Chains A and B, each alone.
Chain A
Amino acid sequence: MATLKIENLTKTFHAHSKGGLPTRAIQDISFEMSGQVFVSLVGPSGCGKSTLLNIVSGVDTPSTGTVTVTQDGKKARLGYVFQDPRLLPWRTVMQNMLYVSDLHEEEGRANATKYLEMVGLEHAHEMYPGQLSGGMQQRVGIARAFSVSPDLLLMDEPFSHLDAITARSLREELQVMWNATKKTVLFVTHDVLEAVQLSNRIITLAHGGTVFDDTTVELPFPRKASDPDFAAHQAEILGRFEVMEAERAAAAG
């Protein structure tokens, strides 16, 4: 069972120019998540959501505090879906899948095929990313992340660069994939509707990189935005957002 434990995490970026002030992206964040959960991190732009994910993945380092990701006491395996697909343009879809695989060639191919089928791209093995639409490329990105059998799957606003129709269809596909695999997922989004549709738990970050709210979503899957309970949850979280903005405005004077 994968466990992510974040304790007193702070991240400060040093100023690039002489005389510039350092920027604090995350300030003293602590939370823990474990098991078959889909946790969404929501919050306004610049509140440190993506920075947090980069630190969890090891791409970035914390200024202070600790982040541990374990699977049954051992170092956990991570998968990552980025905002943009980040596929190697000079490699075919299959080669992109195999690049992140630690399996032997034959086994890796069979595994990649399984996940490409899950995202409806079984016909695209030998195609180059440049031959695919943005939505198809992101599908490969999702299949790639699932294919490494991650203990913890990190997703950084994976649908934000897509049109509304493609994003909706991919959200539904993700829901199906998560129900089939029940991975531990940490999902970053600024879209409350997306968070309510996909998550068991929603953590709201405030400006300045602090945890403002941490709530669970107990609605049955598959979730539809037209469902009154769904709309009520969404309204509740948006209401908290308004409180957060009001507090921020009051603090600013």
Chain B
Amino acid sequence: MAEAATLEGTSRRLAGARLRRASGVVLGWGAFVGLWAFTSSVILTEFTLPGPLKVWDAIWVIVTAGSWADDFLISISKTFMGFAIAVLIGTPIGYLMGRAGYWKAFFHDGVVGAGSVPGIVYAMMALVIFGIGYLGPVLAVGLISMPFIALNVAEGLEGVDTDLLKMSKAFGRSERQSLRHILIPSILPFAFAGVRLSFAIAWKVEALTEVFGSSNGVGFQIRFAFQGFSIPRVLAWTLMFIALLLLIERALAVLERWLFRWRTWEQEE
């Protein structure tokens, strides 16, 4: 009886917490849209800052025209390609940095320096080197993301529990088994944190590079709308861009919770 009552109480509390969170999201968006409408109609003008309804109309026009998905797909593919390059280069560099003091000294300043270069510099350099095309944004995304991946992988390796490695050796496991079952799982949460952190930055740089030097993609569409003095379209593309970013961010959060579900209990302890 008592157990059933406790269970009922717990599920009621959980449902209450979920409802509070959902209402927080709705009210947060409501406040944002309200402030936007107020600023647009009272502080500024509809010409300099179009209101939510006008931007919604522009979104509707873009969506019904049908080619918006192509632009997003192109931007996404460039971002993921750049990200793949960052992971391919950043992971081995991070691995070396985390395993040996010499390699840490060798790479540290370069990697930290690369991480602190403003995104616009990468965007301009990509334009200079590759001109208008597909490769520029890919390279810019790769360069801006790589330091985050490398530093997080190195941090993960430095935090590997050496007692687990000793256990593995005592039971006669091979270096390869230790790598697969101990080192990689130790690094993964850090690498994932690096991915999430750099993803938002990578997207911005990708869009920025498209503004400068691309003939397609979301960044190109924003520039195209700006050149046509269509501020509602600029904001429409920007909002759609934000919506996609939020979706990907949520998907990454779900994936992270699933991949590292064992940590739930570690954290509860």
Contact = CB atoms under 8 A, between A and B. Distances in A.
Interface stretch (A28-36, A87-95, A169-177): A87-95
Main secondary structure on B side of the interface with A? helix
B178 to A, nearest CB: 10
Given A59-B170, A80-B170, A100-B171, A88 B266 contact: no
B262 A128 contact: yes
A154 B167 CA distance: 12
Contact of B171 (A54, A89, A148): A148
B182 A88 contact: yes
B64 to A, nearest CB: 47
Given A99-B181, A130-B268, A90 B170 contact: no
Interface string A46-57: 000000001001
A130 B170 contact: no
A100 B173 contact: yes
Main secondary structure on A side of the interface with B? loop
Interface residues of A, number: 23
B7 interface: no
Contact of A130 (B166, B171, B265): B265
B174 to A, nearest CB: 11
Given A84-B163, A88-B164, A59 B181 contact: no
A153 to B, nearest CB: 11
Given A84-B163, A88-B182, A88-B185, A58 B170 contact: yes
Contacts of B171: 78-80, 99-100, 148
A121 B157 CA distance: 32
A86 B262 contact: no
B269 interface: yes
Interface in B244-269: 260-266, 268-269
Nearest to A53: B170
B265 A90 contact: no
B18 interface: no
Nearest to B186: A90
B170 A89 contact: no
Given A90-B185, A100-B171, A100-B173, A59 B265 contact: no
A148 B269 CA distance: 30
Interface in A66-97: 77-80, 82, 84, 86, 88-91
B169 interface: yes
A131 interface: yes
Interface of B: 163-164, 166-173, 177, 181-182, 185, 260-266, 268-269
Interface of A: 54, 57-59, 77-80, 82, 84, 86, 88-91, 99-100, 128-131, 148, 154
Given A86-B164, A130-B268, 5 more contacts: A78-B170, A78-B171, A88-B181, A128-B265, A130-B263
